[in-house]
Chains A and B, each alone.
Chain A
Amino acid sequence: MTIESFNLIIASPLLARLLVLVCGAAVFVALRRKDTEGQAGFFLAIILILALRDGLLSMFAVPELRYPTDVLYVSVVLFVYASPFKPARLALFATLAINLAAMGLYASRVYAGAVGFIPVWAYDLVPVVNGVLIAVVGIANRRDPEAGAARMAAATWPYASAAITLYAALVLAVGDEATPIRWLVAPASYTWLVFAGLAGLRLHDDETLAAINYYEAAIDSLYNLSFRVGTVLKGSFSTEDVLGSMNEVLISETGASGGTIYLVDEFDDIIVAKAYSGAFPPPFALPESLPRKANRVESYMRHAQFRLGENVLGEVARTGKNIYEPDAATTDRAAGNGDEDFLRLSSLMAVPLMVEEKIIGVAAVAKNEPGSQFSEADFDRFKLLANFGTLAVSNFFSFLEANERSGIEKSAGIAAEIQRTIIPKKLPQFPTLGIGAYTTPARGVSGDYYDVIRTRGDRIVGVVGDVAGKGVSAALIMVMIRSILHLITNTDKDIATVLDWVNRGITGKIDMDHYATLGIVAVNIETGELEYANASHQPLLVYRRASDTIETIDIKSVPIGVERATEYHRKALRLYDGDMAVMYTDGMVEAMNEQGKQFGRKSISQTIIRNRDLSPKDIVGKIRTELASFIGNARQHDDQTILIFKMKL
């Protein structure tokens, strides 16, 4: 930098001008952080233009640049203030064209000495025109309430217009070389930017405050809704109660006279009324036969259902479109319904209840006071609450479903747990009698039961049973049977009498019918004498070592639980060395593979014969593997249980 240009800077009013511009820039930078419309950016551009221009003019002796840059500056300002208003566009572009022409003519005159016939003051008049136009546009649009750029322009045009017009007028009057102009008027003319920025900031704060007020009110409504729905949920699990309280909140928060909520039926293409309260004049033609009495119409509306697409509510449920008819009296929705007050539809709003993209229902509110209308704000509030309410309601449904599912699972789990608890943990073993058993429960069934009870030193009782039905009630019957068995096998009653007693203990004792099949054997571990009694259970299989065959021993009878007076019968036989007595449930025999073939008694018999030399524990293991490979990937439908006694005399 030369000494000369340094002197120029010192001698120029640059510092004063820059100071003002920096202040303005600071304000607009602050505004820009909040401003989403990009308006602050324009003002910062203006400030940048001015700062560059003044810098250049101070450093280099190029006074001829002063005029074109001034025109450029006022052009940008004019653009900022006039462009947000569409009707002002023509005047804006015309003036910009004049500005451009003025710059061109000025350049021709300075550099080519042309167009000398145009007086100098004519050039200085151009910025004045710009300043006046800003004022004209501002005055014409001072009532424009729009937000954003227009609002900022409408609020701050007097600063821009006054500064530019005054400055340009003074330049016109005394010329731009006058010291007061350069040192005082020009820097002062920049201060409008600071004021405009501050006004913009205040404007922005006002908007924020209004938004905060709006959301505060909305949050109040939402809180109210959540609170009401939550209170209902504490006391009840009824869809109607939950939707009823949501409906009431919608009515009170929108100032409606009444409202209704419909849900789309889960199985059919219809909507069904779930909530109705207050005076909600039906926004569709009522059936002609329906008496126009308030209580009759209300009862009709409480239980109404419509096809999707039928009437205005069905239409909302089908299309998902909002209905906002502040002056519904002018529509003919309720035409022909009658002249009664409760049928007068003054104003109507209806919105779909949406979960993600799915329409699950419709909420509608209405007013029936003559001339009363929902405002835009009411409609906004209604949409907001309906959305939020739907979320709460859909959560409630998810909860109900999960609760039901977990109820089923839990009940099945409890039954399976009872079953697991009451079967023997460990089977007794004797030198002369080996015992093997296993049970595989099927999901949700839990009806099989087996037990081994040592009654006297030499007498072992084995039981295999199958309670019909499933779940906790079946498991409880199993527990009862087990208790009775443990109580009476210890007496010296014969084994058929034990069944009689069990039957009498179960039959007709409880309000509900309960049935079980039961096979029971009592073995003398010293002699091999065996008693067998049967309550409609699968026949006993007896493996005879001597002949290497299986005998099927059955006693025809009815299950436990059919008749109190049933007398069961017994058969006596004797097991010899290597003989086996085998009891099992129908889940074993009827186990089905993917081809629909049943495992059958024959497969059990063959597996036993093949493995006759193994211990009972190993034989049941073999049967288990055999059955599993037979079933393959097919589903297990029923519990599978087997119990084997093997004599080793």
Chain B
Amino acid sequence: MSDKTYLSEMKEIRVDENSPLFDKTGMLYKEFPSDYRQIRYFTLLIVQSAPLEIKEINLLEQQISEVIKNAVKHGNQCAVDKKVRVWYSFDSTHAHLIVQDQGAGFKDLEKWNEFNKKRLEILSAQDFEKLSDFVSFRTLKSDDNDGGNALFAALEYWNGGFVFNDSRNAVAMLKSFPQKKHAIG
């Protein structure tokens, strides 16, 4: 992919409660307590309904785990009595997920977008000196394990969109798996 197309497809986190990605029709549902220790378990419960044919299942699992982690940690601040609600549907062509927490919502969303935009510009300009200032996104609440890096990756991975609701405590995302155009077998 050339630098130009990279810029023209500038990816950012959108806020749009009316996005079709929030349509829960036909989606499976589970809810979990905000127990940080159980994030991998919850992820496994979700991802086990993905069909066997999906090849990069580990990548999918990792991405789902990050989103649930965000909800548990940044959304519900690990308050065990607060719930994380997950709607999900998978088939061999797509993965669709909605994760909602009971927190105050992603306040720094615009800041993050701004940061990411600059980061991408610097990347495409190949200005590696400046890039060192943009390797991670941090706010006052960030701890040593946070860097907003998961979100950079999430935007790349969820190629069908990564959209927050208006109160920014729910995020819907869609991944379309590549389909064979020229089957050889």
Residues of A at the B interface (CB closer than 8 Å) are: 263-269, 355, 358, 360, 394, 397-402, 408, 412, 444-445, 447, 468-471, 513, 515, 536, 558-559, 561-563, 586, 590, 592, 596, 598, 637-638
The answer to whether B44 and A515 have CB atoms under 8 Å apart is yes
In the bound complex, what is the Cα–Cα distance between A418 and B37 (angstroms)? 29
- Say how far A261's CB is from chain B's closest CB, in angstroms: 13
With A445-B48, A515-B41 in contact, do A269 and B35 touch (Cβ < 8 Å)?
Answer: no
With A444-B51, A596-B24 in contact, do A360 and B184 touch (Cβ < 8 Å)?
Answer: yes
The answer to whether A468 and B51 have CB atoms under 8 Å apart is no
B20 within 8 A of A: no
The answer to whether B182 and A358 have CB atoms under 8 Å apart is yes
The answer to whether A265 and B182 have CB atoms under 8 Å apart is yes
In the bound complex, what is the Cα–Cα distance between A398 and B183 (angstroms)? 10
Q: Please indicate the chain B residues that have their CB under 8 angstroms from the CB of A445 in the complex.
A: 48-49
B133 within 8 A of A: no
The answer to whether A360 and B182 have CB atoms under 8 Å apart is yes
Q: Please indicate the chain A residues that have their CB under 8 angstroms from the CB of B111 in the complex.
A: none
Q: Please indicate the chain A residues that have their CB under 8 angstroms from the CB of B51 in the complex.
A: 444
The answer to whether A598 and B29 have CB atoms under 8 Å apart is yes
In the bound complex, what is the Cα–Cα distance between A638 and B29 (angstroms)? 12
B130 within 8 A of A: no
The answer to whether B37 and A558 have CB atoms under 8 Å apart is yes
The answer to whether B40 and A267 have CB atoms under 8 Å apart is no
Contact of A596 among B26, B179, B184 (CB under 8 A): B26
Residues of B at the A interface (CB closer than 8 Å) are: 24-30, 35, 37-38, 40-41, 44-45, 48-49, 51-53, 178-185
Residue of A nearest to B39 (CB): A562
With A265-B182, A412-B52, A563-B37 in contact, do A596 and B30 touch (Cβ < 8 Å)?
Answer: no
Q: Please indicate the chain A residues that have their CB under 8 angstroms from the CB of B48 in the complex.
A: 445, 447, 468-470, 638
- A to B CB contacts below 8 Å, 12 in the list: A264-B184, A266-B184, A268-B181, A269-B181, A358-B182, A360-B184, A397-B184, A400-B185, A470-B48, A513-B41, A592-B28, A596-B24
The answer to whether B44 and A468 have CB atoms under 8 Å apart is yes
Q: Please indicate the chain B residues that have their CB under 8 angstroms from the CB of A444 in the complex.
A: 51-52
The answer to whether A469 and B44 have CB atoms under 8 Å apart is yes
- Say how far A565's CB is from chain B's closest CB, in angstroms: 11
Q: Please indicate the chain A residues that have their CB under 8 angstroms from the CB of B41 in the complex.
A: 468, 513, 515, 559, 561-562
- Say how far B25's CB is from chain A's closest CB, in angstroms: 6
- Say how far A471's CB is from chain B's closest CB, in angstroms: 8
Q: Please indicate the chain B residues that have their CB under 8 angstroms from the CB of A563 in the complex.
A: 37
Residue of A nearest to B24 (CB): A596
Q: Please indicate the chain B residues that have their CB under 8 angstroms from the CB of A358 in the complex.
A: 182
The answer to whether A267 and B185 have CB atoms under 8 Å apart is no
In the bound complex, what is the Cα–Cα distance between A559 and B33 (angstroms)? 12
Contact of A408 among B44, B52, B179 (CB under 8 A): B52
Q: Please indicate the chain A residues that have their CB under 8 angstroms from the CB of B49 in the complex.
A: 445, 637-638
Residue of B nearest to A558 (CB): B38
Q: Please indicate the chain A residues that have their CB under 8 angstroms from the CB of B182 in the complex.
A: 264-267, 358, 360
Q: Please indicate the chain B residues that have their CB under 8 angstroms from the CB of A397 in the complex.
A: 184-185
Q: Please indicate the chain B residues that have their CB under 8 angstroms from the CB of A355 in the complex.
A: 184
- Say how far A328's CB is from chain B's closest CB, in angstroms: 28
In the bound complex, what is the Cα–Cα distance between A406 and B182 (angstroms)? 22
In the bound complex, what is the Cα–Cα distance between A445 and B28 (angstroms)? 15
- Say how far A344's CB is from chain B's closest CB, in angstroms: 32
Residue of A nearest to B183 (CB): A266
In the bound complex, what is the Cα–Cα distance between A358 and B183 (angstroms)? 9
* Extra contacts besides A447-B48, A513-B41, A598-B29 (16): CB < 8 Å: A264-B182, A266-B180, A267-B180, A358-B182, A394-B184, A402-B185, A408-B52, A444-B51, A469-B44, A515-B40, A515-B44, A558-B37, A558-B38, A596-B25, A637-B28, A638-B48
- Say how far B32's CB is from chain A's closest CB, in angstroms: 10
- Say how far B175's CB is from chain A's closest CB, in angstroms: 15
Most-contacted residue by chain A among B25, B35, B45, B179 (CB, 10 A): B45
The answer to whether A590 and B28 have CB atoms under 8 Å apart is yes
The answer to whether A562 and B44 have CB atoms under 8 Å apart is no
Q: Please indicate the chain A residues that have their CB under 8 angstroms from the CB of B180 in the complex.
A: 266-267
Residue of B nearest to A470 (CB): B48
Residue of B nearest to A395 (CB): B185
In the bound complex, what is the Cα–Cα distance between A470 and B26 (angstroms)? 22
